[in-house]
Structure 1
Amino acid sequence: MPRRWWAWIAVAVEFIAFAIVGPRLVPAYDAVQDVLLISLVGWALLRFLRGGPRTRGRVRIGRQFGALGMGCWLVALVWHAVTERLDLSVSFRALTLTAFVLPAAIFLAVAMLALPVAPPTVMGKLRLLCDGAIIAFSLSALVWLFVGDDWYGRRDSPFGDVSVAVLCLTLMTVVAMVMLLLIYGQVAWRSAFTGLAVGAALLAASMVFQLVAVLRAEDWLWGHAVAQLGLLAIAWSAGRPSESVPVRDRGASPLMQAWSYVPLLVLVLFMIRQQMSADRLDSIVMWHEVGVVVAVLGRQFLTLRMTTSLTDELGAQRARLAHQAFHDPLTGLANRALFNERLDAALEGHPALLLVDLDGFKAVNDTRGHGVGDQLLVAVAGRLRGAVRATDTVARLGGDEFAVLLPGAAAEADATAVAAVILERVSAPVTVGEGAPVSVRASVGIALADASSTAETLLRDADLALYGAKESGKNRYRVADPELSDSTLGRLRLEEELRVALDAGEFEVHYQPIVELASERITAVEALLRWRHPVRGLLGPAAFLETAESTGLLAALDGFVLRTACAQARTWRAVRSDFVVSVNICAAHLVDPGLPDEVAAALAAADIPPSALMLEVTETALVADLAMAAQTLRELSALGVRIALDDFGTGYSSLTYLRTLPIHSIKIDRSFVHDLDGNATDEAVTRAILGLAETLGLRPVAEGVEGTSQADRLRDLRCGHAQGFLFAKPMPAGELTALLETPVVA
């Protein structure tokens, strides 16, 4: 147990001991007790005032009303101490004391209702008050009957009995609320509320005991001690830190109702046993009985209302749950589950299905944030709803993909008209947040149902049509047809086969020699990717590179070629120490910040120097993101890796790249080499490129050399290196190793 708890217990024991032995040892004991009570109330008031501003919400309100209650109680105690020493009638003293104690009790009751342990709803608070009123009226009547024996014959004011009854009723209300709130079980024992509740109950009990003592002209030694303990508990609660207590309105339980009616049952039994004389049944008792009846009727009325409200709430909750189960939480559109139900139901009428996918939505999410992306989806959902009839269904299937179902016998013209409206409305700029308007476009795939259509086939056809619309340039619609479906299915099948092939190890690397023209000695090789398809055989890059790029697999394939070529280069460099392997890098891989680390790791794994590797990049790859590409090339050059500019002469900015980028070699495009021996223009361009390479200190390599006349003309133009079918076709590593071991015949 914490040390401060022992301190509080010690103080409480001292107060009790003082109440027992004080009258025998302390002169002016009553005055000392009055001073102690006033001091404790003042201390509790200060703690309420100091603790209130440090809290928030209902706890703060509870402490504010607690301070008001302590203020009224302080005035009541001062007034009681003054009037006790004056020659005033008991009735007047009871009446005036009631004027101060009544607000104090009310404020304490409000403080307990305001704290988070009370029911959070208005109906719950009213029910609690009715339960408290039943208990309070019953207990107050019992107190009245016990006190009335000595009081009726000596009352000297027409207001005395009323004031005593009101005071008893108020105090019993506080006791009743304490009982009920503790029974509710909304809070643990070590809480600020427990101290306030116990303290208020002790204060109320002490006031009743003091009232009995005053009316019977008796001394009751425990009255002050009980009040002091109550004030100690209240002061302790006022300084306790606020606790977060989960509150729920649990409604009327059988235990709750039983506790509410126990005091009433005791009152009824007591009255039955009493001698029912005329002077016993005065108006005070009758009004108490009327109050009990009103409280019971109110309690039952509230129970009925709450039952009805609970039924309505359950119905509304079921409706909300049903809506949530079948609607998208962000846009409010039908979700996939509801859409599938309506699609199945509409199939007999041969409906039209439109799949809508936003073009450029990922860029909005990446640059403007997901919050703006969500607002954009909500705006697009509203535009889709406005583009169709009330009988049509608009659904969000997930992400930025939507679906529109046109039930009934929808013709192709109707579906394409709706698609055109959708494209027009979606493309209009959307103002979201405080930034600039956001613009996106859409692609739409349309499928028309027939007698053989199922939900699965209709969705598949619409999806294939959507894929075709995106492949055709986006921001357009396509209608599913057999030819489109076949070609699209072929591309999709190829995409899936590519993913499987990469994991299954179906790719291999072939190598085409690069020769020194003067001696036709092989000095380097270019690594080229091939696909050993299980059905179609060996496939060149033209059969799959475009699809690999569209699916994002090209960078992974580049990495495979890089690692394989570096590992093979180690074998060849054991024979020729100056041997170089050249690897192509795609645009997506070139702008990857991790490429330099990937290259360094491949070189380290193969245990070859960076000078053994040349990376080939095209002008197209540079144009994609020149700043990022330049940074990557500089980092690669700093590693010692050499860079070659492939397809040189076909672009518009080749000279700029030579001036600003770390280029070590240029590869003359095959288009200039093909007619080199018969086209004066091609010869002039080739001569100019070779002169530029010589001036800049770059190694030129002519591509696509297929005839001896081309090779001879390149020698005349002093081109140092070439590659092409004249010298060798791309071949597996084993064949190239055998070729390298074959001596060159002069």
Structure 2
Amino acid sequence: MRFSLDPTADRRTGGEFAPVGVTHAVTVSRVLWTLGFVVFAWHGAYTTFNIGRGHWDFVVSQWTPFVVFLLCAAASAARALSDRRDRATWLVFACGLGFYAVSAACVAVAAQSDSPRGFPAASDVVAWPMYPLVLVAIALLVRSQRSRARADLWLDGVIGGLAVASIGVVVIFDVIIDPQAALAGSPGNVVYVLGDLLVVGFGIGSCALLGWRPSRALVGVIIGFAALGLDDTLYLSAQVKGTFVPASGLDSYWVLAVLLVAAAAAWAPSARQLTHAVTPRSVVAFPFVFALATVCLAAYEGLTNRHNTLAVSLTTLTLVAVVVRFALTFRAHLTMIQETEHDAITDDLTGLGNRRKLLRNADLLLAGAANERPVALLLLDLDHFKDVNDSLGHAAGDELLRVVAARLTTTLQDGDLLYRLGGDEFALLLSDAESEAALRAAAALVAALDTPVDLDGLPVATGGSIGIALSPDHGRDIGTLLRRADVAMYRAKRTQTRHAVYSQESDGQETTRAGIQLLGQLRRAIGDGELAVHYQPKVDLRTGSLIGAEALVRWLHPDRGMLYPDQFLPLVRQHGLMHAMTDLVLDRALDDAATWHAGGHPLPVAVNLFPPTLGDVDLPTRITQALAHRDLAPTTLMVEITEDFLLGNLDRARTVLVGLRELGIRIAIDDFGSGYSALSYLRELPIDEVKLDRSFIAPITHDPRAASIVRAVIDLAHTLGLTTVAEGVEDTETAKTLAGYGCDVAQGNYYSAPVTDCDLLFLLASAPRAKLR
């Protein structure tokens, strides 16, 4: 089979390529419809303006509708060949129009024989099946967009359909036509009007099932049958009043209305399937707008003292449906409130209560503690959980937390309440529990953690440290108990006793309290982006030009002033904050680099990456996205790593570093020589730069052995094609000595202390290529 690459054909069929036959079927459908429109235009001119009147008057006036309707049915059948998803829809639609065309032929035959018209006439019996077939086609069209719909949407559809039908019945049979006269004089034509109303009402009701986002095809069917209903109403009115003239303009309007119906098949594109419910405020308002219209209709009926039984019945059914819809809406609102409240106090991962639920329940229990009913709070923190996340990934860490939560739950007694406060921290609240009961509960929790957890076939040993605080002895409010249980838990970690009860002596240790307070402040500072980044200029030793900068994190503490990394990095590493802090520093450094580049100073920036950040195999992708977001080249960034990380994670480091290097990001070993230096790193890893630690650099002017080592490392690095950077250069003599050894780059207070991004930009702007010293 030959295929077409026509993009419009692709969109119509929903496939990657459209068969040539499918494309031709679309064309045939539109050609057939267009031909029908041409016949209609000629017929309209013939009947309205008497153009071409002659011997063929009867044939033209009576058989033209049959020809047009037959072309419309054929156009719908051709559409079925081109639309694989809605094929059944358009085949049923074509059958309905085919019945209507045969009905038009019956009308022409009956007119030629001048036989009296009975009820129901043969043409009526043939035409009426069109309405149920079109209803089925609409249902299929809706199902192709949404296979399932909520109960409230179905009810909205019923309300819309009933409201439209009741309004139409009142307008047509109370305002335009006398219903008794219509039923007595032309009962068959009443059926047509009611059928049109049924289709329009069903179509509008179906829009509710689609979230009031109907396809163009459905809108076209609704508009077409609305036009057909108007023509049938005018025809019925003329029949009742005795003013109908055969071969008049009403016949042309009739043909036009059917053409509008068929246009949905010939011209409307395929509908897209809806994947979710749409519930904006305007959508919810639709059924209530219909309800208001129905109420106004009922008021009109009462004020005019009319007794249209069908209208009253439809209005009553509409109002009943609206009441049921109100009830469903109210119930859904209550359910949403309950679910929202449940979600607000439940941990998504483990299903346990969260911190908010702990605070709520603790207030109730501690109200009893005021009457000397003891309450115990146990705070548990898993040991080495961060290592599981770093080595096996966050999915494994989540599974570990779920297993741990399930095991801890098995230790609970009646009245015990277990919560997950976040991360790897759990809390157990015991009512009417003395110190002995709290210790027994702690021992049970510890025992539940003794068995290793199987994670993807790998047994992972886990444990925990538990701090215990008792009320009323250690506090009468949950905030105090949480803080003191935290103090006891850290004492248990420090002494490796698995669990500890709070004591005044432990809380009196200023270092412990200060450490806990500093950790909380550090978490907030990282979360709120309050850490600062300063930049240490890097200088070319041959030219004295500023050629780069190293990003250094700082913390302007509200009470302690400027804190340097050695004062808070241990807390960052110990409590799993390294990922968040590294992301913050990296984003800030790249933002500043983008500012420098925009100002005409394309200065590279170096960022230190510590474990466990470099153990993340997704790191190259994240860094690439960060660079692309700021329109920066990969060469703008240099990643600095430390030797201590490489010692224990060489294989994973190699994978991550190779990924970074392939992207064009440069790699440097920071503090080379400060640890257990392995020269094999320079061969095995994609290193671009070696940074000599300040402990090597400082003594080179007075220690010949230190000078020999530095010179040897510089020579070796140059042999391997690597750049050498000297850290901690503090004076002129050291700078000259390094330049004499052939060192490439230097940094230190001799050139400039670390400066802010604005100061560095000023330094860059002071000369085309700033020279320091």
Structure 2-normalised TM-score?
0.55
Partner residue of 1:50 out of 45, 64, 82:
82
After superposition, the C-alpha distances for 1:81-114 in whole angstroms (9 at most, x for unaligned) are 1453154652322541354233234335546765
Q: Which residue of 2 aligns with 1:71?
A: 95
Partner residue of 2:312 out of 290, 293, 312:
293
Q: Which amino acid letter does the alignment assign opposite residue 319 of structure 1?
A: Q
Q: In 2, distance between residues paired with 1:587 and 1:255?
A: 71
After superposition, the C-alpha distances for 1:141-166 in whole angstroms (9 at most, x for unaligned) are 4599558758847x8xxxxx4x5544
Taking a change above 3 Å as real, the CA distance of residues 638 and 365 of structure 1, as seen in their structure-2 partners, is closer
Partner residue of 2:72 out of 37, 40, 50:
40
> Within 5 A, what are the aligned runs for 1:259-658?
259-260=293-294, 289-347=308-366, 348=369, 349-408=373-432, 410-430=433-453, 439-451=461-473, 453=475, 454-473=477-496, 476-485=498-507, 489-490=511-512, 493=515, 587-588=644-645, 615=673, 617=675, 630-631=680-681
Q: In 1, distance between residues paired with 2:688 and 2:123?
A: 99
Taking a change above 3 Å as real, the CA distance of residues 12 and 483 of structure 1, as seen in their structure-2 partners, is farther
Q: Which amino acid letter does the alignment assign opposite residue 264 of structure 2?
A: S
SS for the counterpart of 2:246 is: coil
Q: In 1, distance between residues paired with 2:573 and 2:141?
A: 70
Q: In 2, distance between residues paired with 1:496 and 1:247?
A: 47
Q: In 1, distance between residues paired with 2:381 and 2:229?
A: 71
Taking a change above 3 Å as real, the CA distance of residues 329 and 100 of structure 1, as seen in their structure-2 partners, is same
Q: Which residue of 2 aligns with 1:257?
A: 291
Q: Which residue of 2 aligns with 1:124?
A: 156
Larger of the two Rg values belongs to structure: 1
After superposition, the C-alpha distances for 1:231-260 in whole angstroms (9 at most, x for unaligned) are 444444343242578744526766423544
Q: Which amino acid letter does the alignment assign opposite residue 201 of structure 1?
A: A
Taking a change above 3 Å as real, the CA distance of residues 206 and 419 of structure 1, as seen in their structure-2 partners, is same
Q: In 2, distance between residues paired with 1:206 and 1:318?
A: 50
Q: In 2, distance between residues paired with 1:551 and 1:133?
A: 68
Taking a change above 3 Å as real, the CA distance of residues 553 and 165 of structure 1, as seen in their structure-2 partners, is closer
User: Would you say how many aligned residue pairs link Structure 1 and Structure 2?
Assistant: 531
Q: In 1, distance between residues paired with 2:458 and 2:92?
A: 55
Q: Which amino acid letter does the alignment assign opposite residue 328 of structure 1?
A: D
Q: In 2, distance between residues paired with 1:197 and 1:544?
A: 70
Q: CA shift at 1:387, angstroms?
A: 1.8
Taking a change above 3 Å as real, the CA distance of residues 344 and 588 of structure 1, as seen in their structure-2 partners, is farther
- Tell whether the 8 Å contact from 1:495 to 1:547 is kept in structure 2 after alignment: no
Q: Which residue of 2 aligns with 1:20?
A: 44
Taking a change above 3 Å as real, the CA distance of residues 436 and 494 of structure 1, as seen in their structure-2 partners, is closer
Q: In 1, distance between residues paired with 2:452 and 2:324?
A: 51
After superposition, the C-alpha distances for 1:467-489 in whole angstroms (9 at most, x for unaligned) are 23333458x22333344445694
Q: CA shift at 1:403, angstroms?
A: 0.9
- Tell whether the 8 Å contact from 2:374 to 2:434 is kept in structure 1 after alignment: no
Taking a change above 3 Å as real, the CA distance of residues 473 and 587 of structure 1, as seen in their structure-2 partners, is farther
- Tell whether the 8 Å contact from 2:156 to 2:208 is kept in structure 1 after alignment: no
SS for the counterpart of 1:199 is: helix
Q: Which residue of 2 aligns with 1:675?
A: none
Q: Which residue of 2 aligns with 1:515?
A: none
Taking a change above 3 Å as real, the CA distance of residues 17 and 271 of structure 1, as seen in their structure-2 partners, is farther
Q: CA shift at 1:46, angstroms?
A: 2.8
Partner residue of 2:253 out of 226, 237, 255:
226
Q: In 2, distance between residues paired with 1:256 and 1:553?
A: 57
Q: Tell me the C-alpha RMSD between the 2 structures.
A: 5.5
Q: CA shift at 1:39, angstroms?
A: 0.4
Q: In 2, distance between residues paired with 1:641 and 1:251?
A: 68
Q: CA shift at 1:198, angstroms?
A: 0.6
After superposition, the C-alpha distances for 1:690-721 in whole angstroms (9 at most, x for unaligned) are xxxxxxx9xxxxxxxxxxxxxxxxxxxxxxxx
Taking a change above 3 Å as real, the CA distance of residues 205 and 590 of structure 1, as seen in their structure-2 partners, is same
Q: CA shift at 1:398, angstroms?
A: 1.1
* Structure 2 residue ranges without an equivalent (≥5): 1-26, 526-530, 533-566, 582-605, 607-641, 697-704, 707-711, 713-729, 735-773
1:202 partnered with 2:227: yes
Q: Which amino acid letter does the alignment assign opposite residue 126 of structure 2?
A: L
Partner residue of 2:129 out of 100, 104, 109:
100
- Tell whether the 8 Å contact from 1:76 to 1:101 is kept in structure 2 after alignment: yes
Q: In 1, distance between residues paired with 2:343 and 2:516?
A: 39
After superposition, the C-alpha distances for 1:548-607 in whole angstroms (9 at most, x for unaligned) are 9868999x9xxxxxx9xxxxxxxxxxxxxxxxxxxxx8734766868x9887788xxxxx
Q: In 1, distance between residues paired with 2:504 and 2:466?
A: 17
Q: Which amino acid letter does the alignment assign opposite residue 408 of structure 2?
A: L
Q: In 2, distance between residues paired with 1:46 and 1:10?
A: 13
- Tell whether the 8 Å contact from 1:591 to 1:632 is kept in structure 2 after alignment: no
Q: CA shift at 1:43, angstroms?
A: 0.6
Q: Which residue of 1 aligns with 2:602?
A: none
After superposition, the C-alpha distances for 1:205-249 in whole angstroms (9 at most, x for unaligned) are 445556677886741534454344444444443432425787445
Q: In 2, distance between residues paired with 1:485 and 1:51?
A: 76
SS for the counterpart of 2:350 is: coil
* Structure 1 residue ranges without an equivalent (≥5): 54-59, 156-160, 273-285, 505-542, 557-562, 564-584, 603-613, 647-664, 667-696, 698-732, 738-746
Structure 1-normalised TM-score?
0.57
- Tell whether the 8 Å contact from 1:140 to 1:165 is kept in structure 2 after alignment: no
SS for the counterpart of 1:121 is: helix
Q: CA shift at 1:35, angstroms?
A: 1.1
Taking a change above 3 Å as real, the CA distance of residues 114 and 311 of structure 1, as seen in their structure-2 partners, is same
SS for the counterpart of 1:405 is: strand
Q: Which amino acid letter does the alignment assign opposite residue 250 of structure 1?
A: V
Q: Which residue of 1 aligns with 2:737?
A: none
Q: CA shift at 1:197, angstroms?
A: 1.4
Q: In 2, distance between residues paired with 1:80 and 1:313?
A: 50
Q: CA shift at 1:404, angstroms?
A: 0.9
Taking a change above 3 Å as real, the CA distance of residues 36 and 323 of structure 1, as seen in their structure-2 partners, is same
Q: In 1, distance between residues paired with 2:138 and 2:305?
A: 29
SS for the counterpart of 1:198 is: helix
Q: Which amino acid letter does the alignment assign opposite residue 196 of structure 2?
A: L
Q: CA shift at 1:322, angstroms?
A: 1.9
SS for the counterpart of 1:84 is: helix
Q: In 2, distance between residues paired with 1:545 and 1:296?
A: 73
Q: CA shift at 1:466, angstroms?
A: 1.9
Q: Which residue of 2 aligns with 1:240?
A: 269
Q: In 2, distance between residues paired with 1:207 and 1:358?
A: 78
